[in-house]
Amino acid sequence: MPADPPISSLRNIGVIAHIDAGKTTVTERILYFTGRTYKIGEVHEGTAVMDFMEQERERGITIMAAATSCEWNQHTINIIDTPGHVDFTVEVERSLRVLDGGVVVFDAVAGVEPQSETVWRQADRYQVPRICFVNKMDRIGADYWRTMEMIRDRLGMIPVPLQIPIGSEDKFRGVIDLIRERAWFFSSDRDAPPVEGEIPEDYVADAGRWRETMIERIAEFDEQVMISYIEGHELSVEEIVKAVRRGTITNSFTPVLCGSALKNVGVQRLLDAIVDYLPAPDEVPPVEGVSHDGPEARLADPSEPLTALAFKIVTDPYVGRIAYVRIYAGTLKAGASVYNSSRDENERVGRLLRVHADDREDIDHVSAGDIAAFVGPKETFTGDTLCAREAPILLDEISFPEPVVSIAIEAKSADDQDRLGASLRKLAEEDPTFKVEYNDETGQTVISGMGELHLEVIADRLRREFNVMCNVGRPQVSYRETIRRSAEAEGRFVRQTGGRGQYGHVVLRVEPNQPGNGFEFEDETVGGVVPQQYIGSVRKGVEDSMRSGVVGGFPVVDVKVALIDGSYHQVDSNEMAFATAASIGFREALRKASPVQLEPMMRVEISTPREYFGEVAGDLSSRRGSVHGTEERGAAQIIQAQMPLANLFGYTTALRSMTQGRATASIEFDHYEEVPQSVLAEAR
C-alpha cells in the first residue's frame, strides 16, 4: 500500500462566487492544467466535468457542489466547486464548513455582486482563509482596480494585489507578478505554456508603485516585513511569499490575482498561489468538539482518534446513498465500524471512495486532513459526527436557513404516488433546505425550498432520476406569524365520561422574542401546581399549536412562552390532557397578544442600462419595493432594493421584457417583515 502524502502537501479548497462569475470555468481549467482531465469542459457548451447533472448542463449553472482532486507541484488539491445561485446556498454553507481555504472568483466587469457578499460572510463565519481571483479581464468594461476597491468597501477586507494586469478588455495579454517582478504572457493557444519575460517598459513604473503598496500592506500585519521595510532592507522573494502566507492564513488580508479562465490566462499562477498561500489541514486551528470530559480539540494527525464530519448526503440511482466526509483526525478504513455520536448509532463504512465529479475510485483508507465518501450510510445524515466509539466527540452541527417558498405537489398516477413519498424523503435527506410536509386540512403534499429555481430543479429531478411524474402547483410564499405584545391566557381541558376522565389546566404567558431567536419555553410554576412529569407535555402542546397561527394559519415564530400556573387531578390528569390544555391556552394567548403576519423580504440588486432606469424603478414601486441605493458601474445603473417575495414571482421574466433582455436581477433572502394591514385586507 503506497504511503499517504504528508499532510503539509494537502490543500482543501472551495471555489466560491456570485452566479456567472466563472467558478466552474476556473475549476475546469485547473483540472486541465493539472492533467486531471485531457479535454477542457465548457459550461456554455454543456460539457463541464464539474456540472455533471442534466439540469446543470441545460441551464449552464452549478446546482450541486461537486468534489474533485488534482496534483500540482507535489501537492494534492481537493476542490469543491460550489453553486453561485442563492437558491443553492446550502451547498456553499456545508462546503465551507469542511474546507481549509477558498478561491473567491469575481467578475472583473461586475465586481463584488450580492451573492459574492453572501458567500464572503459565510466564509467569515467559518474563518476560511481566501485568495481572490478577478476573472473575465478580457471582457468589455473589465476594471481590476474598481473590483479591488469594492473588495475593500463592500467586504471589509484589505486586498493585497500580487499581480497587476497587462492591458484589459480585448488588449489583455498577461499579468505582472509583483513579488518576483516578472511578467507572464499568454497566447491564444491553450496548450502553449505561459511565457515568462521582462516587465514591459510602459508598465515598469506602475509595477514598482504597486509592489511598494503590496509590501506596505503586508508590513502593516507582519512584524518581520515591517522591520525590514523600516530599515530599508531588500526583501527576498521567499520572505514575501512566507509573509503573504502568514497574513492569508490569519485572515489579516487577502491576496488578489487576475486572469481570464475562459481564455486560459492566469490559471497556472492561481494554482501556484493555492499551494503557496492557502493552508494545509495542520495549519488551521484543531477542530473543536464536545466529549464526555467537556470541550476537546483534535489535531489533524492520523494517529489521533477518528474524528470526521459527514457534510453531504447524495442519493445515486445506481449505488444508493453516499456520504461525503471530511476527516479531521485519525484514519477511516473501508469496512470499518464507526460511531455516529450525533445519533448514538453505529455506522458501517462500506466502500470508501475518492470522488472526481460523478466518477469514483475505490480506496482502502483515508487519513486526517483529507476528504472522501463512503457508500451505504444507514444512520448518517448531513452534519453528523463520525468518530471512534472508545473516544467519542461531537462536533458543531451545520446551520441551514429556513425555506421561503412552498408549492403543492401531487403524483399523476397511483404508481407514481407509491414512489413519490420515498423519492421526496431521499431528496430531503440530501438537501437540508428542502422540506416536505403533508397538510392534513387540504390533503396535499407541500414541498418548500429556497426559491422558484430550487423547487423547479427538485420537480425535474423527481421526473428524471426517480421516474415520478407529478403535477406541481403555483409557488406560495412561506409566511410566518408572531406577536407584538405580552398576554396571559388560561387553557382548561376537562372531559368526564364513564370511568376515568381527562383533566388538564394551565395558565400561560406569551411575549415577543427577539427576531430570529425562535421559540423559548420556561416553567415558572411553584409548589408543584403542575407536576414535573406533565411539563414536557405542556411544551409539546404549545409547539404543536405553533404550527398554525391565528392570523392566517401560518407557523408562529419568535415567541417566549412561560407556564405560570395551573392545576391537576390525582386520577384524571395525563400527558394528553395537559398537551391539549396547553394548545387551547396558547391559542387564546396569541389572540390577545396582537398577532401579526410576517412575509419574507428579499434583497434585490438590478443591473440595467441607464435608459431603462425610470421604468425599472417605477415597476419596483408598483411591487411594494423600496430602493435603498443606486450607483453607476460602467455603462450600467445598479439599483439596490428590497421587495416582498410575494411580488417577485416571475419578476426576472418581466424585467427582461421591459429592458429588451438587457437587465439582470440578483435576488436573495434578507429578513422577515410585518405584512401591511392594507395588503392583508386586500388579500381577504
The pair phi, psi for residue 166, each rounded to 5°, is: -100, 105
- For 3-12, 37-46, 279-288, 453-462, which range has the lowest pLDDT when averaged over its residues? 37-46
Confidence band of 87 (pLDDT split at 50, 70, 90): low
Mean pLDDT of 18-26: 78
Q: Which amino acid is at 497?
A: T
CA 429 to chain centre: 16
Q: How many residues does the chain have?
A: 684
Residue 45 has a pLDDT of 45
Confidence band of 51 (pLDDT split at 50, 70, 90): very low
Mean pLDDT of 490-497: 86
Mean pLDDT of 224-247: 84
Residue 37 has a pLDDT of 60
Cell (9 digits) for 552: 392566517
Q: Which of 371, 373, 352 is nearest to 363 (CA)?
A: 352
**Does pLDDT of 11 surpass 70?**
yes
Residue 358 has a pLDDT of 63
**Does pLDDT of 132 surpass 90?**
yes
- In angstroms, the CA 619 to CA 613 distance is 10
Higher confidence at residue 134 or residue 43? 134
Residue 231 has a pLDDT of 77
- In angstroms, the CA 304 to CA 296 distance is 12
- In angstroms, the CA 314 to CA 550 distance is 39
Cell (9 digits) for 395: 462536533
Q: Which of 61, 52, 50, 109 is nearest to 83 (CA)?
A: 61
Residue 222 has a pLDDT of 81
**Does pLDDT of 49 surpass 70?**
no
User: pLDDT digit string (tens) for 581-622?
Assistant: 999 999 999 999 999 999 888 888 888 888 888 899 898 888
- For 162-176, 349-363, 367-381, which range has the lowest pLDDT when averaged over its residues? 349-363
User: pLDDT digit string (tens) for 257-274?
Assistant: 998 888 888 888 899 999
pTM of whole model > 0.85?
no
- Asked if 488 and 415 touch (Cβ cutoff 8 Å), the reply is no
- In angstroms, the CA 168 to CA 259 distance is 10
The pair phi, psi for residue 76, each rounded to 5°, is: -95, 125
Q: What angle do CA 19, 21, 23 make, to 5 degrees?
A: 90
Mean pLDDT of 65-78: 83
Q: Which of 490, 478, 608 is nearest to 555 (CA)?
A: 478
DSSP 649: T
Residue 400 has a pLDDT of 78
Confidence band of 85 (pLDDT split at 50, 70, 90): low
- Asked if 508 and 589 touch (Cβ cutoff 8 Å), the reply is yes
Higher confidence at residue 546 or residue 662? 546
- Asked if 427 and 315 touch (Cβ cutoff 8 Å), the reply is yes
**Does pLDDT of 481 surpass 50?**
yes
**Does pLDDT of 43 surpass 70?**
no
- Asked if 670 and 613 touch (Cβ cutoff 8 Å), the reply is no
Instruction: Find residue 106's DSSP bridge partners.
Output: 134
Q: Which of 566, 563, 556, 564 is nearest to 593 (CA)?
A: 556
Pairing relation of β-strands 385-387 and 337-340? Answer: antiparallel
Residue 184 has a pLDDT of 87
The pair phi, psi for residue 412, each rounded to 5°, is: -80, -25
Indicate the average pLDDT of the chain.
84
Residue 608 has a pLDDT of 86
- In angstroms, the CA 324 to CA 314 distance is 8
Confidence band of 56 (pLDDT split at 50, 70, 90): low
The helix, strand and coil proportions of the chain, stated in percent and rounded to the nearest 5, come to: 30, 35, 35
User: pLDDT digit string (tens) for 141-178?
Assistant: 888 999 999 999 888 889 999 999 988 888 888 899 99
HEC profile of 280-301: CHHHCCCEEEEECCEEEEECCC
Neighbours of 243 (CB within 10 A): 22
Q: Which of 242, 203, 216 is nearest to 158 (CA)?
A: 216
Confidence band of 498 (pLDDT split at 50, 70, 90): low
Q: Which of 673, 668, 672 is nearest to 120 (CA)?
A: 668
Which stretches does DSSP call E strand in 233-293?
Answer: 254-258, 287-291
Residue 545 has a pLDDT of 92
Residue 36 has a pLDDT of 67
- In angstroms, the CA 80 to CA 372 distance is 12
As a whole-number percent, the residues of the chain with pLDDT over 90 amount to 21
Q: How far is CA 631 from CA 108, 246, 383, 628, in A?
A: 17, 36, 40, 11
Q: How far is CA 46 from CA 50, 52, 62, 173, in A?
A: 10, 9, 11, 27
Contacts of 408 (CB under 8 A, 6+ apart): 439, 442, 444, 445, 446, 472, 473, 476
- In angstroms, the CA 555 to CA 544 distance is 10
Instruction: Find residue 289's DSSP bridge partners.
Output: 296, 395
Instruction: Find residue 257's DSSP bridge partners.
Output: 133
Residue 660 has a pLDDT of 78
Pairing relation of β-strands 101-107 and 10-17? Answer: parallel
DSSP 53: S
CA 296 to chain centre: 26
